Structure 1
Amino acid sequence: MLPISSPTSPSPDPVKKHSKGGELDRKNSFNSLKSAIQSALSLNNPRSWLLLSILFIQLVLLLMLRSIPASLSISRGGGGADQTSAEVPVTSIAFVKDQCESGRIYVYNMPKTFNEELVENCHVLSAWGSRCDMLSNDGFGRKATGLNGVVPVDLIPAWYWTDQFSSEVIFHNRILNHKCRTLEAESATAFYIPFYTGLAVGKYLWSNSTAKERDWHCEKMIKWLRDQDHWKRSNGWDHFIMMGRITWDFRRSNDDDWGSSCIHLPGMRNITRLLIERNPWDYFDVGVPYPTGFHPRSDSDVVQWQDFVRKRNRSTLFCFAGATRGTIRNDFRGLLLNHCKSEPDTCRVVNCAGSRCSNGTSAILETFLDSDFCLQPRGDSFTRRSIFDCMVAGSIPVLFWKRSAYYQYQWFLPDDPNSYSVFIDRNEVKNGTKSIKQELDKYSREDVKKMREKVIDYIPKFLYAKPQEGLETIKDAFDVAIDGVLNRFRQQEEWGYKWK
């Protein structure tokens, strides 16, 4: 046998010179290896297909693993090995956080006498008759009729004859389904009081009621509220309420005056109040749009309506829908009616004497759709629902009192009043120094188009959507109001000071 190694074998040279023959051998070896690899990778070689298949499968598995979101194990209870856990995607947690980054809302579960029972007794809510139709369909009222040929056929189901005083029911139904509602009061940023203040006082406004009767519901509500721990903690600074009438219906100073004294009662001072007309000098009053008749079911309803009013062929320069107030001396609405009648070629009139325009006529909508401008004097108070009916139809409002809109709805209207409306001093109309027609004729077709586009852009902020969870991506008046309240409460925390 040959030894594995021989101790007598000569040691190799530390540095061995390579001969040309050795270099040639290496080249031949390299060429042989190259040929072997090329042969192995040849598409005619079955092994090549096997290798490519393996690589392809690995690539697919890698992509599948990357598409699976990372998950976070959230324990259902305290510590311990026996606790079960749920796998919640991190991406989902981030989405929820973004949706409610301004805070969460706790809705008080109040005694039914403050809300549900008022609706159940709808037949006695008004001295003028039953209000049950008004409160049907979650506060949207009766389904609209007579709209064939006035609005697109597929949008007719989104129209209702909605009453202007139904906001409390609409807000309550929406907020119960709001994405940022919480059932845990400790995690709430804001607290909603579902008291139907307007419905409670409405039945007493036109009857021989006493001050005590008009204040009864509100006094009971405040007594209940002041017993709640979270109200005691903040003195109402993080509480808000929808009061579905104008602010003046709740500001009685003397027993013989109009309305209730709800806003002036102890406990209401620091609560943010959403109203269809606010007192511009009260920080806690916030003006929100009157409900109109259009309640879109989806984003596509909104977009289709905007496109419809944008393309509408408007044959009339301006219009006025309203009635005179015979008991008011020098009634301005009567003056506007006469002004329109004297300009039949440029102004269209809908005389709403009596109750012919009360929550259910297509004549007003069609008039607004056919007019470039709509005249909007003050109503029984400084505001009127017609301002929003007008703008939803894509018509440009002509205002005569700044308190009718400019000092009312800052969260919902453009910052520049001139971008969407015309203001004419009523006194100059009264004394004849200004003609409405001449003032409106000053606007070019391009001016009118630009102003109308601004109105159309803001239409979603004037609407209350039909779905109780809201629209898909478009924010309506309810969403804007809730965002505004949450932002306001955050700002109040930043102040660092609150009176009691």
Structure 2
Amino acid sequence: MKRRPSSCNPAELMQKSVTWLLFFSGLFWLLLLAYFRVIFNGGGTVDKFTNLQPTPSQTQPSQPDLLPPPDKPTPSQTQPSQLHLRPPPDSYPFIRALRTAENKSDPCGGRYIYVHDLPPMFNEDIVKDCKNLSLWTDMCKLISNGGLGPALENDEAVFSNSRMYNSNQFVMDLIFSNRMKQYDCLTQDSSIAAAIYVPFFAGLDISRHLWFPNVSVRDALTLALVDWLVQKPEWKIMDGKDHFMVAGRETWAFRRIGDGESEWGSNLFRLPAVKNMSILVVEASPWSTNDFAIPFPTYFHPTKDVEVFEWQDQMRKCERPWLFSFAGAPRPGYPQLIRGQIIEQCKISKFCHLLECVSGEKQKCHSPSNVMQMFQSSQFCLQPTGDSFTRRSSFDSMLAGCIPVFFHPATAYTQYTWHLPREYSKYSVFISEDDIRKKNVSIEERLLQISPEQVKIMREEIISLLPRLIYADPRSKLETLKDAFDITVQAVIDKVTKLRKGIIEGHEDPNVPEHLAWKYALLEDGQHEVGPHEWDSFFSKSKR
């Protein structure tokens, strides 16, 4: 029987053991070297592999579709917002202003206004230059009585014994400034101010230069104002977002598109610094987010509450034999306007009173007593667009208790959102100007469909709104009623306060697309989104 060779040779076994020992020792040191290279040169890689998530079979049924965590950010990638490290509220320079509202014993808490002390060239010197404020009108006379103009006589008992003045429609700069001087919560300490007022008379300034071709002259004072403002410490706190001013004309006088000598207006509203401010105008752009419409001045400027109550009672008692009326002139050179059609409808209706402002009759339209007498004797007053969207006549007619009929939403509804109800059918009638152009509607028939009871309700709504639509005499103060000035100042304060609180809470100032600005102006508190609207066709790009 053949024997197998023995495998238990001691020398051979020793040689094999040494070989395996050397192999495993080398492998150990290679692995150790690789480990330390990863630790010191590629820590993120270790994290990536040592932080593995469990497989779906290991997770709880209530946590489906778990995603692996993102890569660990480097210090340069880590933003304060990611770590929720917002500055503490006390670190914000406007926190004192917000805290004043918490002091319930302070009647001015949250209402303080700081007024910039501008050099006189921005306001007082403009008023002194009153003879150059208009090429056709004696503005020195019309800015008397603190900007209210000359007192009106009580012709034909139209005005009763109330405080009536022949106020020009473009003097809001002066009226507002004088009312601000009587504001009960002025402060010299800007750190507690809820808002900051800039008393620049922008509307009066541009009135001196509108009809002259030199754009450098038109822009000179506005550029000087911006240079002055941006150097002030008050401006630097919020880059002017807590500042506001009044420019008492339509917005278009301050939105010159180019620099050609024939272009209209100044470039005030196109300056980057001014875009941060809140600008108060008698007509705002539907496509801008920083100008806000406030009512035109009317003839009525009461000194005390009782004068308002007496006027309201007088308007309730007026006899109104005319169903509707219109005061204005046709615009034959502007075929897109509907004034011609409105005048024609009025002429053929036995229920319409027409005050046509054409040659030979213009003085009747410029007579406050004639205009107000017509409004006081009418149930409805037609307010089509004219040279621009809005009309001072809208406020004169409501002052007379006459229900306005609007044909474009930008005449009132998207403009005076601080002063008029959002539910416009409560105080007005809307007839689309497109229906007038296409002759789809008879104004007379449309108004006759409204019952006498509903007319009475609508008129009472207007009469109750009157305090919000008028400006009290700047030389006095109403006791309990809030006038248009009070409503405006509070709205500005609310806007600035909301912005400041949003900054503290980490909310970005919403970047509203300017072409949709009119939609955002209609949003109620708590609403943030806009969508398709019944008025989209009125504000389309082709109609800008």
**What's the CA shift string for 1:400-456, capped at 9, x where partnerless?**
001100100011001201111001112212222210000000000001001111111
* Pairing partner for 2:183 from 158, 178, 184: 178
Unaligned segments of structure 2, at least 5 residues: 1-101, 512-544
Q: Name the SS of the counterpart of 1:318 in structure 2.
A: strand
- Aligned residue for 1:408? 415
> For the residues of structure 2 that align with 1:424 and 1:484, how far apart are their CA atoms?
29
Check conservation: 1:198, 1:244, Cα contact below 8 A: yes
Match of 1:192 in 2: 197
Contact kept in structure 2, 1:150 and 1:366, CA below 8 Å: yes
Q: Mapping of 1:388-427 within 5 angstroms?
A: 388-427=395-434
- Partner secondary structure for residue 380 of structure 2: strand
- Residue 476 to residue 357, structure 1, CA distance change in 2 (3 Å): farther
Cα distance in 1, alignment partners of residues 104 and 158 from structure 2: 41
What percent of counterpart residues are identical?
38
SS at match of 2:222: helix
Counterparts in 2 of 1:430 and 1:495: CA distance versus 1, 3 Å: same
Name the CA distance, whole Å, in 1 between partners of 2:324 and 2:431.
Answer: 14
1:479 alignment counterpart? 486
Matched, 1:314 2:323: no
Q: TM-score if structure 2 supplies the norm length?
A: 0.71
Of 124, 127, 135, 1:119 maps to: 127
Partner of residue 132, structure 1: 140
Q: Out of 353, 359, 367, which is 2:358 matched to?
A: 353
Deviations 1:332-358 (A, max 9, x none): 212212221111x20001122355256
* Cα-Cα RMSD: 1.9
- Verify the 8 A CA contact 1:144 1:360 in the aligned structure 2: no
The match for 1:104 is 112
Q: Which moved more, 1:252-261 or 1:291-300?
A: 252-261
Structure-to-structure mapping, 1:23-422, within 5 angstroms:
97-98=106-107, 100-152=108-160, 154-155=161-162, 158-207=163-212, 209-256=213-260, 257-329=263-335, 331-343=337-349, 345-353=350-358, 355-356=362-363, 360-422=367-429
Offset of residue 188 of structure 1: 1.6
Question: Of Structure 1 and Structure 2, which has the larger fraction of its residues in strand?
Answer: 1
Q: Does the aligned pair in 1 maintain the 2:356–2:365 contact within 8 Å?
A: no
Partners in 2 of 1:450 and 1:375 — Cα distance? 19
Question: d(CA) in 2 for partners of 1:362 and 1:479?
Answer: 28
Match of 2:456 in 1: 449
Amino acid at match of 2:479: E
Q: Is the 8 A contact 1:277 1:288 kept in 2?
A: yes
- For 2:463 and 2:173, how far apart are their aligned partners in 1? 26
* Partner residue in 2 for 1:470: 477
Deviation at 1:469, TM superposition (A): 4.8
Opposite residue 206 of structure 2, the aligned amino acid is: V
**For 1:197-245, what per-residue CA distance to the aligned partner results, in whole angstroms no more than 9, with x for missing partners?**
01111122123x2211111110111111111111012100110001101
Q: Please, what TM-score do these two structures have when normalized by structure 1?
A: 0.77
Cα distance, 1:267–1:303 mapped onto 2, change above 3 Å = same
- Deviation at residue 94 of structure 1 after TM alignment: 7.7
Once the 2 structures are TM-superposed, how far is the Cα of residue 498 of structure 1 from its aligned partner?
A: 4.8
Provide closer, same or farther for how the CA distance between residues 312 and 499 of structure 1 changes in structure 2, counting only shifts above 3 A.
closer
| One-letter code aligned to 1:159 | M
Which amino acid in the other structure matches residue 226 of structure 1? V
Report the AA paired with residue 168 of structure 1. D
What letter is aligned with 1:197? A
Gaps of 5+ in 1: 1-92
Number of matched residues?
402
Tell me: CA distance 1:118–1:303, structure 2 relative to 1, closer, same or farther (3 Å): same
In 2, Cα distance between equivalents of 1:237 and 1:212: 27
Following the alignment from structure 2 to structure 1, what is the Cα–Cα distance between the partners of residues 185 and 476?
11
Report if the CA contact (8 A) 1:163-1:359 is conserved: no
The answer as to whether partners of 1:178 and 1:469 remain within 8 angstroms in 2 is: no
CA distance in 2, matches of 1:265, 1:296: 37
Per-residue CA shift, 1:452-498, capped at 9, x if unaligned? 11111101111000143531000000000001011111111122145
CA distance in 2, matches of 1:94, 1:466: 31
Of 424, 429, 441 in structure 1, the residue corresponding to residue 436 of structure 2 is 429
> 1:214, 1:161 → 2: CA distance?
28
For the 8 Å contact 1:179–1:469, the answer to whether it is kept is no
Residue pair 2:338, 2:436 contacting (<8 A) in 1 also: no
Mean alpha-carbon deviation: is it higher for 464-473 or for 310-319? 464-473
Residues 127 and 204, structure 1, Cα contact 8 Å, conserved in 2 = no
Q: Distance in 1 between matches of 2:438 and 2:510?
A: 48
CA contact (8 A) 1:398 1:423 kept: yes
Tell whether the 8 Å contact from 2:345 to 2:442 is kept in structure 1 after alignment.
no
